[in-house]
Amino acid sequence: MPASAHTLLFPGQGTEAVGMAQGWEAHDAWEGTLRAAEAHTGRPLRQAMAKGPQELLRQQRLAPCAVLAHSVGIYRAWRAAGLALPVAAAGHSMGFYSALVAAEVVPLEAALDLISAVEDLSETAFAAGAMGMAFLIGVSELDLRRALLDHPELVLSNRNGQAQFTASGPVPALESLVRDLGPAALKTGLLPVQHPLHGPHMAPLLPGISRRLAAVQPAEPAFPLISHFDGRLLGTGQAAWDEGIASVALPVDWLAVVARLKVLGAPLAECGHGRQLAGLTRWADRDLAVASLQVPPVR
């Protein structure tokens, strides 16, 4: 990876995979980040990432912590190897938490506490297995919005591309939506999450989340962050932290993020495991190429 400044893209939950930590254990910045995350959460993140089993790594309480710590550790290791300070950074869904920590708006522990607050309050608010999210690929937004008229309890929660979306809400309604649109779609299904993220069902939780994190004092960002809600630049620490808290109830519009990436004009690199955001970005604009930082830098 050249030393020229990039805009970094931080992926969210769902990118976790057994073996994702391979090669990173030798990098002090990554190792230190994972040790700190494990000390704060009490969860065996490195063990789950290295050896699994997949069921452990994908646990609702462990997966987002693993993705966050891994992405931040990758960023810190690459910075130690000479990667230039980013022009800006975007995060998809909870990948925004990784961007917050990378930009030094809040410490790693605060972002982990945000994950914990969302999980605690969601478990109190929603019965187990009652709520979730579904993905729909290869359908038009118009067809999806028409189908949602028959399911008023559901909302369009993610615009990930021209024909790639998620909806959130009660699981029975999501299953019905998937059945309705499945024959016309390339791929549909339920996501491995237990909450109706990025929609109004989460809005009543925001006051409680804010109270849990009232002691956090955000710092000014080392580089601007891009809202995954509307693509605007968040240039102050308070604006970025407010966005992080509110993001659980704000829909994700990756098309708006891509529009901002084009305006910024910097080369793009994905800072995490896999190529989730490279794929979503190409879905949104075929002319945009996204490099990857998932392979450790040569020491």
Could you read off the pLDDT tens digit of each residue along the chain, which spans 299 residues? 555 799 999 999 989 999 999 999 999 999 999 999 999 999 999 999 999 999 999 998 999 999 999 999 999 999 999 999 999 999 999 999 999 999 999 999 999 999 999 999 999 999 999 999 999 999 999 999 999 999 999 999 999 988 999 999 999 999 999 999 999 999 999 998 889 999 999 999 999 999 999 999 999 999 999 999 999 999 899 999 999 999 999 999 999 999 999 999 999 999 999 999 999 998 889 899 999 999 999 86
Amino acid at 266: A
Rounded Cα distance, 16 and 68, in Å: 10
Instruction: Provide the pLDDT for residue 3.
Output: 59
Tens of pLDDT along 189-209?
999 888 999 999 999 999 999
pLDDT of residue 284: 87
Nearest-angstrom CA–CA distance, 3 and 49: 29
Helix axes 28-41 and 63-80, enclosed angle (nearest 10): 150
Give me the pLDDT at residue 25, please.
93
Query: What pLDDT, on the 0 to 100 scale, is given for residue 160?
Result: 94
DSSP string, 72-85: HHHHHHHHHTTPPP
What's the CA gap between 46 and 69, in Å, rounded?
Answer: 10
CA atoms within 13 A on the CB side of 25: 9
Single-letter amino acid, residue 31? E
pLDDT of residue 1: 54
Q: Model pTM? A: 0.96
- What end-to-end distance do the CA atoms of the chain give, in Å? 13
